[in-house]
Structures are given as C-alpha cells and as structure tokens.
Structure 1
C-alpha cells in the first residue's frame, strides 16, 4: 500500500453548478503539523465524505465532533455558525464534498427543508446546525471516488458530476436519516422473516469476496433458496447476485481510485478473476480498470 505522506496528492477541485447553487469540492491535504481552520457553515445542506484521515469539528461552543475515515458527514443549517476544524498531524486528509442551497435541496430531494432540518436536528440531539456523522459504506466511498477521479471529460463532465453529487446526497440521506428500509416488505412478512433476510444481506457484506451459493446462504439464515430470493428482492429491490456484484464493483472502484491496489489484486480481493473483473468493470463504469488505475 502507498505511504499517504509520500505519494503525489490529487489536485483540488471546486466546481459550482446550477448557477452556484450546488458546489462540489474535492482534494487532498498533507498535514505534517496540526492545522486549525476557522470558517462559517453555509446555509443549506452539506454532505462531506472523508476518504482518508481524521479531524475534529467544533461548532460554536459545542463539544468537538470527531470525524475519521471512512465516514460521511451530513450538515443541515439555516444560518451562519462558527466552525473550527482541527486536522491531525502526520496524515493525508482526502475528501469529497457537495453543498446544496436551501432551494436546490428542496427542488432536487423533494423534501421540505424544514422537515429535513427537523429530522436531522432530532437525531443530532436537538443541536443547530444539525451535524450527523456515520461510517461511509462502499457505495458512498465509490461515489465520492468517482467525483474525485472523474472518468468523464469534455462536455459531459459537468453533467456526470452533477449526477454523482446528487447521488451522493441521496445515499447520505439514506445513511444518516434512514427510513425503514424494509417497511414495504415488513407489511407482508413476519418479524422473523425480516430478520433473516437482513441477516443474509449482512453476511453478503461481510463475506463479499467469497463465492456465492444462494442455497448455502439461505441455509445459514434458516430459509430455503426461493423464499430468500423473493424476500431479498422485495426488501432491497434487486436479486442477491445483482446486489453482491454491485457491492463488489463499488469496493473495487474505491480501491483503484485511491491507488491502494493494482488491477489483478483488486480483482482477487473482490472475488473475481482479473479477466472477468475487467469485463464487469467496463460494463458498469464505462472504462477499464487500468484507465482508472
């Protein structure tokens, strides 16, 4: 694995879109000594993914909030607040951030900003602005990596980045303000059935690099293969093989974009042979793994 202090840093980007109402920002900063940055929070919704490094964030006179990679932070604010960030020395800090104004948040999420603020404030203990942070899963990390290392150039680049920025916001809302992901499934299933389908999903996430045998997975959670397949699709909107393939490819994109592994090593780490992996990767992302690497 590369030494994060010695490798070449990715260039910083700052891209205003939608007449400046949506802003994408990415970059890497090398901190050999402790660094403090004081600036106000912007009004609106901010989603920040920390891909590498750690920091603390103090809002006004509140206790500091610790942020450590891999994580996603979700900030909802209606007014300016003092923000003090302290970056840990001896590290590289790598991030991707998207900020939406209040009107754009409402227009593109379909959620009232007041409702969004109320939900976030409740989950953050009643503080304003609402600041939530949680672990970033493979999907969120992959989207952030695609924003940071954009595979599209030319006229379509801004459109691609706009789409990825909104996709990142959607995933952050789901991660930080989760609805009942099994609500529709739950209306027609027993509590035991829901738990077993969820357990199967968790096994897939933990053992994603292992060969998939649906019958074996079903046996592990106490269901037959048909019942698990039907329940999984109702709960998560996709089949078990499709779910696992997407998860593997998102992890692979993150590894390659971060320079953590070569193509062959990445393929084996996510459970594929290099040749088959390259075919799947190109089909999913529109470029070969070597182009990203």
Structure 2
C-alpha cells in the first residue's frame, strides 16, 4: 500500500500539526516537538533552532504505509542540509539513502519528481547550516565544497555516502544529549560542526585526489549494479551468490564485482556485512526483539560470530549496546 500526496497536500498536513507543537526544554523556547500527521502515521520531530543559521531536526515516525509525494521544481535556500538515516529508506529522483548512510544536499534548484519513504520506522538526524555560516566557519570555503553552492537555475548538489563509526558515535551522543538550555545548545552545535567536518571529507578527498581515468561503466551497468544492491538488501536472511546475483541483474561475475566496488567502494560481501550489522543495531535500539531474533532476521547463524562482528563495528556486545543506547525521542 502506498499513500500518494502532492507536495502542497503534504505541506498542509504538516502545517496543521504546528498547532499541536509543544516545548520540550523549559530553558529553551527554540526547542520544540511537532507531532507527525495522524493521517499519515505516528511519530515526532524535535526541532531546535540553535541560532539563526543553524537548525537541527531529530525525527522518529512510523508511517501507515509507504509515502510517495510529488515535488515540483523550486529553489532550495542557500543552506547545506546533511541528513543521517538511522533507520528507514528514502528514495528521491537523484539518490537513495539507506540505513547507515547520509545525504549531502546543497543549494540550487530542487530535483523534480517523486520522493518515496518506505514502510517501517524512520529515524533520522538532520541539520541545516547556511552557506554564509559555513564560509565564516572555514574562513574561505574550500574548493572541494564549491559544488554545494548552486544558482537558482542549477540543480542542487545531492549525494549519498556511508556513515562512518566516528559519525555514529557523534549521532548517538546527540540523540542522548543530557543537557538543557545554553549548555545543550553549545553541546549540540559542537556535535554539528564535528559531523559537518566528517560528512564533507569525501568531497574534499575527491577534489584533492589525482585526476582519474574516466569510468568505463556505462549508465546501463550502473543501473544493474544498483539493482544488485537492492536485491542484496531485500534478501538479508538468504542472500544470493555472486553468480546468481550477476545473473539476476544481467551482468557477468567480473563486471558485477568490479562495478560494485567502483560504485560503492567495497565488495558485495563487505557491503552486506555492514548493512546487516546496522540493521541489527536499529532493531536492538527499538527494544522489542531478543538478540537471537535480531541475529536471525539480519542473516547471522552463529551468535558468537554475530557478537564479535557487532563488537568490532560498534565497540561493545549487542546486549550491552542495547541497554546503553536504547532511548526514544
């Protein structure tokens, strides 16, 4: 089932929820909770205006069904938006962001088309920083970040990347911020700048790297490789072999292996391994499943191997992690 909405209808529904807005921090009137529209599901968004040109949003919602809303072209304000997907999958005309990934979106014209949020719980931490604030922070905006600045007639830059362990730690600390008032504002703003520096690293590395030979991948091959990734993520419990996966998407084994590494920077095995662990992380945080069930749902058969892999990625055993970080918005 899919709920289809126009962007105007979506805006109207969310505007109506503003009447139910409430203040979360008695020491900060710029820290508010806004409910998710009841017509679409349930959940909350916490919005914090840290200062005039720095916004933070912490979102958790469970839509009634897959949401699809059409978007007409419009000019994005001169802000950089960084959105970290902790759970849920978001499809847009230009990028698909899965759990354990984040998106970078700059200013310019929006990408016209249909935006889709999949069924199930969606958990995201996002922040917006004005381009002027970034210039002030960096002194002079590095050349590698110039693609983030688009004119009104230029499509905005938007791209997805993998969330690193350092980012995951900072995100967990933000979600569990223990402070109030001014201390909270300073703490969260410090974390935002930390995450900003980490999130733009790929762009800075790309700009400073020696020029590479043009990719040999054709657009049709790239489509096949993205289709292969989708199949992998849909079959966590029983993933196909490389040979089967290649056959399903119409490539030979070598083309799939080389193309997957070119597109995602790793092998299909490593990509699936880390995705499984990130899915397990989200299930543990939700708190309604035992470790054995979580392990099986993401495709692990050995509890000791799962515990070791989880510990290597997140720094602690699954049970300790769930007890320490389980928290609702």
CA distance in 2, matches of 1:246, 1:196: 21
**Number of aligned residue pairs:** 217
Q: Does 1:146 align with 2:172?
A: yes
Q: What is the match of residue 278 of structure 1?
A: 307
Which of 226, 236, 244 aligns to 1:208? It is: 236
Offset, 1:52: 3.0
CA contact (8 A) 2:127 2:192 kept: no
State yes or no: 1:233 paired with 2:242: no
The alpha-carbon distance between structure 1 residues 271 and 102, as it changes in their structure 2 partners (threshold 3 A), is: same
Contact 1:105 1:113 in 2 (8 A): no
Work out which of the residue numbers 220, 225, 233 in structure 2 matches 1:192.
220
Deviations 1:90-112 (A, max 9, x none): xxx97645565424764798468
Q: Which runs of 5 or more structure 1 residues have no equivalent in the other structure?
A: 1-11, 14-26, 55-68, 78-92, 125-131, 151-156, 174-183
Unaligned runs of 5+ in 2: 1-23, 26-30, 39-43, 64-86, 91-101, 108-121, 177-186, 204-211, 323-329
TM-score (norm 2): 0.47
1:264 aligns with 2:292: yes
Greater RCO (CA < 8 Å, at least 6 residues apart): 1
Query: CA distance change for structure 1 residues 116 and 42 in 2, over 3 Å: closer, same or farther?
Result: farther
Q: What CA distance in whole angstroms lies between the structure 2 residues aligned with 1:74 and 1:230? A: 26
Using structure 1 for the length normalisation, give the TM-score.
Answer: 0.52
> Residues 56 and 128 of structure 2 are in contact (CA less than 8 Å); yes or no, is this contact kept in structure 1?
yes
> Does the 8 Å contact 1:197/1:228 carry over to 2?
yes
Q: Which residue number in structure 2 is paired with residue 220 of structure 1?
A: 248
Q: Tell me the equivalent position of 2:150.
A: 118
Q: Distance in 1 between matches of 2:105 and 2:256?
A: 37
1:52 aligns to 2:84 (yes or no): no
Match of residue 290 from structure 1: 319
Residue of structure 2 in register with 1:165 after alignment: 195
Shift in Å at residue 225 of structure 1? Answer: 1.6
Instruction: Label 1:281 to 1:45 Cα distance change in 2 as closer, same or farther (>3 A).
Output: same
Superposed CA RMSD in Å reads 5.3
Q: Counterparts of 1:215 and 1:277 in 2: how far apart (Å)?
A: 25
Q: Secondary structure at the match of 2:292?
A: helix
Deviations 1:219-257 (Å, cap 9, x if unpaired)? 111122222111111121111101111111111112222
3-state DSSP of counterpart to 2:150: helix
For the residue of structure 1 that corresponds to 2:228, the secondary structure is helix
1:102 and 2:134 matched: yes
Using the alignment, how far apart are the partners of 1:259 and 1:28 within structure 2? 25
Match of 1:51, SS state, is strand
